Amino acid sequence: MAAPLEPETTPEEYRQRALLLADLGRYDEAAQEVAAGLTAAPDEPGLLATLARIHLAAEQPAEALRAAEKAVAAAPDTITNLVVRAMALTDSQKYGDAARVASGILAQWPADAYAQRTGAALLSESRNGQEALNAAWNAVRIAPADAEAHLVLAVVAARLRLFDLAQRAYTQSLDLDPAIGDAQHDMGIVRFERRRWAKALEALADEATLSAQAQAEPDVREEQVGDYPEPFPRAYQAPDRPEPKEEPQRGSGSWAAEPSISKPSGPVLDPSEPSAAAVRQAVVYGANATLIAGVMAGLMTLSSDGISQVWAGLVGVLIVIGLLIGLRRTVPEPVGAALSRLRAHNRPLAGAAYIGFVAPLVLVVYAVVGGIVSLVAAMVLAAVAELLVLTRR
């Protein structure tokens, strides 16, 4: 008599086995378990997303991205699939695509605490700025008792160099869940996101000693950090949104008593922030390149005006392209928004940016019309841009 057949293993059972193996750090075996499940259900989004997380935990971004893309194709409107895709894109250094996915998560689920905190953290990994900070605040407002929301706020604030806010947010996350302090040492993928944010904050802690100060004795922490608003008695107003018409109550327990995001450390984008530093560096590089190109073009006129003009035009175009690419990669927000903030808070640097961009374009003008005047004008503009930067540090 034939033995009874064993019941068929379901995709969820394969996934649970993989989670257990991943918790033991056996990521290769976990991936094999998921692969076995995919042979029976090749388009199962849960298995594909789990496989992507396993590859991320094993630091295999290319494999993670392939699995994440399949998961999104199978279930395009699932938060977890989009989250793992954004992580894989970031780890694959495809920051523009990662930022677009993170922004899409924030826009699609504005009232979901998980979507807001995770989207904020992912956006800050690829293109940090005001949008990420707003989303992190929103996550804290929606879920004030969620330790991970405060952890994400700490990470986003630290990346923006708002260290006082970062320290207070991290302290609050520890108060809500002391296990946050050791989250960077967790194994597996069940708490993979928490581990990811904790590791990011640990990497930033050397600059502001966040971990050391936040994990000090409670009395010392309270004296250094001050009160953190709890339990958020009124709705959070993002810095770029108008305040409500009614005047909120003032008092030691009110959110209004908490300093605004921009007041304790100045605006998010000021001369000490990463965007301004990136613009300053781009101006110096562009101005120096324009000056060198101008000198070389001037020397080439001794042998041939035509060669000089071709050289100047080619180099001018390359400088402009290099400036655009460099700014897009280094400025942690859209370049137009960064320049708008600079016009409001640092006009000399904003002027230097515009002048530094025009200078190589004048080299192109020289290539078209010739004449020593346009060549000299390009060099003068480059020198003015560099002086504006160097004399106003």
pLDDT at res. 119: 92
Evaluate whether residue 255 is within a structural domain.
Answer: no
The pLDDT tens digits for 200-252 are 888 777 554 544 444 444 443 333 334 444 433 333 333 343 333 343 333 33
Domain membership of residue 128 as a residue range: 11-231
Instruction: Name the pTM for this structure.
Output: 0.53
CB 151 within 8 A of CB 194: yes
26 and 146 assigned to the same domain: yes
CB 34 within 8 A of CB 54: yes
Alpha-helical runs (H) found in the chain = 11-23, 27-40, 45-57, 61-74, 79-91, 95-108, 113-127, 130-142, 147-159, 163-176, 192-208, 210-214, 218-225, 274-300, 305-330, 335-345, 347-369, 372-390
71 and 211 assigned to the same domain: yes
302 burial class (0-12, 13-18, 19+ CB within 10 angstroms)? exposed
147 and 52 assigned to the same domain: yes
217 and 318 assigned to the same domain: no
81 and 192 assigned to the same domain: yes
Evaluate whether residue 237 is within a structural domain.
Answer: no
Residue ending a domain, among 202, 231, 260, is 231
218 and 353 assigned to the same domain: no
CB 150 within 8 A of CB 173: yes
CATH number at residue 101: 1.25.40.10
Place of tokens 């609050």: 172
178 and 285 assigned to the same domain: no
Cβ neighbors of 155 (< 8 A, separation 6 or more) are: 121, 124, 166, 197, 200, 201, 204
Evaluate whether residue 342 is within a structural domain.
Answer: yes
pLDDT at res. 188: 62
Q: Is the pLDDT of residue 199 over 70?
A: yes
231 prior amide bond cis, ω within 30:
yes
158 and 280 assigned to the same domain: no
201 and 145 assigned to the same domain: yes
Query: How many domains is the chain built from?
Result: 2
203 and 284 assigned to the same domain: no
Residue ending a domain, among 174, 202, 231, is 231
335 and 279 assigned to the same domain: yes
Cβ neighbors of 47 (< 8 A, separation 6 or more) are: 11, 14, 15, 34, 37, 38, 41
Evaluate whether residue 1 is within a structural domain.
Answer: no
CB 195 within 8 A of CB 207: no
Q: Is the pLDDT of residue 12 over 70?
A: yes
Residue 369: which pLDDT band, with cuts at 50, 70 and 90?
confident
Residue ending a domain, among 199, 231, 263, is 231
Cβ neighbors of 290 (< 8 A, separation 6 or more) are: 316, 319, 356, 359, 360, 363, 378, 379, 381, 382
Question: Which of the two residues, 250 and 187, has the higher pLDDT score?
Answer: 187
Evaluate whether residue 3 is within a structural domain.
Answer: no
Evaluate whether residue 239 is within a structural domain.
Answer: no
Cβ neighbors of 1 (< 8 A, separation 6 or more) are: none
Evaluate whether residue 224 is within a structural domain.
Answer: yes
Evaluate whether residue 206 is within a structural domain.
Answer: yes
Q: Is the pLDDT of residue 49 over 60?
A: yes
156 and 281 assigned to the same domain: no
